[in-house]
Structure 1
């Protein structure tokens, strides 16, 4: 009987510790999801990150039924992530918010006083243009309040066009600043 009670007590203690660990793991996971630095961590597989991109197809491979419905897709979130990181790697930028839609890139940033306004706008535009297809229009602003407006659209989708008015308002505000809109297909 003493052995049975000892085993039962041990089981209760072990399962209690397991629940504590699960609760701690769950809190850590939620904390990680809310941590903006979480996305700034480097990928775990450096070898994969360093590989070159290469594919080769024949015309016959593309004419099969599975490939006829294949469309090119752009990961807008990853594109916004890449643009923001490129800009922040330049001296003078303290914070950057980037939104990529199906046609526009909106960038609002906070810079320090050492970086000239035109130079900051040029860096932001060129960074976005280097990462997006030529048909995208790039808008930039050093108006810090527009960062919150851009953030308000972070959960929007390209399928739901209810955000068009907000985007137009942000673009109009950016154009007022004189930093102008740039398209990747313009030679500048």
Structure 2
């Protein structure tokens, strides 16, 4: 009786094309997102647990430069920015502490410029750690300045000065949106940040 039941079960399994297909994949015929299909594994969450060391000074070191892939972050911000209603194209540079965005508008009246600047800035803020400052411009003359920063090496002697002067021009020529909070300006800079940047 047991042998008969096994034979029936084997025949049903062989006839069921959801279980067997000619490629030899007997586990999962359907192209599903699950643990048997790692090539399409885009449902993963990121999880890490850190435990503070009881020994003083032995805590894990945090390096700002290791926090994210700047190229991917710039790409993501650029794509999200172009999805905004009034933005036609967007160039984004992500440094170690700043995001610079030059974009082209479809509507250029004063209110549209201000509202779009606020949207672009907040979109970028949502994609980077909170210590970042975000600067935006819709001035076409400044797009090349932003793109030039992207071609610089991180250890270039005049990198910091170039970024500071470009930021200054962006703030002078374009709206930056609303203040982030009572203690931070439109770009996310605190009073201390502004004092450091003015040096």
Query: What are the ranges of 5 or more consecutive residues in structure 1 without an aligned counterpart?
Result: 1-44
Provide the TM-score with structure 2 as the length reference. 0.59
The match for 1:136 is 132
What pairs up with 1:1-188 in 2 under 5 angstroms?
46-48=40-42, 50-59=43-52, 71=63, 73=66, 74-113=68-107, 116-177=112-173, 179-180=175-176, 181-183=186-188
Look up the SS of the partner of 2:158 in the other structure: helix
Between structure 1 and structure 2, the one with the greater Rg is 2
Query: What are the ranges of 5 or more consecutive residues in structure 2 without an aligned counterpart?
Result: 1-38, 177-185, 192-199
Detail structure 1 runs of 4+ shifted over 6 Å in the superposition.
none
**Aligned-pair RMSD on alpha carbons?**
3.1
- Would the aligned equivalents of 1:104 and 1:138 in 2 still touch at CA under 8 Å? yes
Look up the SS of the partner of 1:132 in the other structure: coil
The structure that is helix-richer by fraction is: 1
- Would the aligned equivalents of 2:138 and 2:174 in 1 still touch at CA under 8 Å? no
Deviations for 1:147-184, whole angstroms, at most 9, x for unmatched residues?
A: 11111122323333422232222111111125245117
Look up the SS of the partner of 1:118 in the other structure: helix
Distance 1:182 1:143 in 2: 17
Structure 1 residue 96: deviation in Å?
A: 0.4
Provide the TM-score with structure 1 as the length reference. 0.62
